[in-house]
Amino acid sequence: MSRQQKIELMAPAGSYEALMAAIHAGCDSVYFGVEQFNMRARATMNFTLEDLEKVGAICKENKVRSYLTLNTIVYDHDLSAIKTVLDKAKASGITAVIASDQAVIAYARSIQLEVHISTQVNITNIETVKFYALFSDTMVLSRELSLIQVKKICDQIEKEKICGPSGKLIEIEIFVHGALCMAVSGKCYLSLHTANASANRGACVQNCRRSYTVIDNEDGHELAIDNEYIMSAQDLCTIDFLDQVIESGVKVMKIEGRGKGADYVKTTVECYREAIDAYYTNSYTKGKVADWTERLKRVYNRGFWSGYYLGQELGEWNDAAGSKATTRKIYLGKGSNYFDKIQVAEFKLESYELSVGDSVLITGPTTGAIETTIAELHTSAGAVQTAKKGDNCAFKLETPIRSSDKLYKIVSNN
């Protein structure tokens, strides 16, 4: 019955660039944080309170649901500001708030703002689902469950007809792609202990992503741990078993990455959009999975594993620091003009050079993220093979660009 309803694809939006990239790539919904009240408080890209109205309007115009992430732990001194944020979210037409603290849940309910329960709550069983059903229609499960456990919870919701405040059956949401935490989601105090920076206030310094040495306290010998970043989990990727994810009965699949750029959002949303659509048209094939996986590898990633969903034992740790993306982007310059009639975009090259045949990425707060390959290139000298730093160069592009857009060259990391 309700399992026939197409699964919702939720994208991260840490900036206007990422928001537009997510919308253009075909997401059904986006989630984002404002100010310091979310798990990416340290990220420089958070929206401000003043952005809420615009974000709400953009989402409404594009028929995309919008979720405000407000899931840090909350102190007394936060209460007043949090009410201000929630009031503003309600007034801006934001679809729902993703919350973990009871103060946030209670206030949102009191102003009739829909509540989703955050993964920070770590819902791992059906009784907890029943408890939160008093307040919420959608719940994000803990990322550490296996798909069998996820399916059992989804089945039980239908069997026992567990409904939320709207009177509809509870919808279960899970993460399908992106960074994983070495601790049970959010229950990590490493950053707090070493840097006073609480992960639960969005200030994680990501100590787990570093390499470590074990010291024998008796004789002082130092042992490097098998060349592995022992606490740095690889990134979650479910594209190769997305059919099983959908068949588990979850209603929303969510991509991690509010701290990541528009190119990451564009690629991940496009791949998962295609995979979901392929599933519903019976064309989800191994060949396509291989293609999606290659594309996903091109943007930021720490190597992929299937998370805890398929029940593997722990131990999928990284063997390198930072991203393993097969490509990287080099900043070239800013947009200067777009000629509508002839569909030509002009950019001012501020660094490096651009040649015919190069792959480029254009990002901007209205443009989102566009990728293309340069077929022909013009400068003031006419048609050229290569445009140099300082040149104004122009090339064919079907989509308009703006002066706020940035041009990058995509190059291989190998």
Site residues for other proteins per CB under 8 A:
35-37, 41-42, 49, 75, 77-78, 80-82, 84, 195-198, 201-203, 205
Closest approach of Cβ 181 to other proteins, in Å?
18
Cβ distance to other proteins smaller for residue 84 or 285:
84
Closer residue to other proteins (CB): 191 or 367: 191
CA distance 264 to 261: 6
The residue among 46 and 136 lying less far from other proteins, judged by its C-beta, is 46
Q: Write out the two tokens for 141.
A: 């499960």
Q: Please, which residues have CB within 8 angstroms of residue 272's CB and are 6 or more apart in sequence?
A: 9, 176, 177, 239, 242, 253, 255
Q: Which residue number, 34 or 377, has a Cβ lying nearer to other proteins?
A: 34
Nearest Cα to Cα of residue 113 among 166, 57, 37, 162:
166
* Min separation Cβ 195 and other proteins, Å: 6
Query: Residue 175 is encoded by which pair of tokens?
Result: 């993460």
Q: Which is nearer to other proteins, 36 or 326 (CB)?
A: 36
Cβ of residue 368: shortest distance to other proteins, in angstroms?
26
Quote the least distance from Cβ 32 to other proteins, whole Å.
17
CB closer to other proteins, 82 vs 299? 82
The one-letter code for the residue type at 146 is S
CB atoms within 10 A of CB 369: 26
Q: CB neighbours (10 Å) of residue 304? A: 19
Amino acid at 224: A
Shortest Å, Cβ 258 to other proteins: 15
CB of 16 to other proteins, least distance (A): 18
Which residue lies nearer to other proteins by CB, 35 or 346? 35
User: Shortest approach of other proteins to residue 403 CB, angstroms?
Assistant: 24
Q: CA 226, CA 228: separation in Å to the nearest integer? A: 5
E strands in 5-59: 8-12, 29-33
At residue 381, the 3 state secondary structure works out as coil
Distance of alpha carbon 182 from alpha carbon 210, whole angstroms: 12
Euclidean distance between CA atoms 307 and 350, whole angstroms: 41
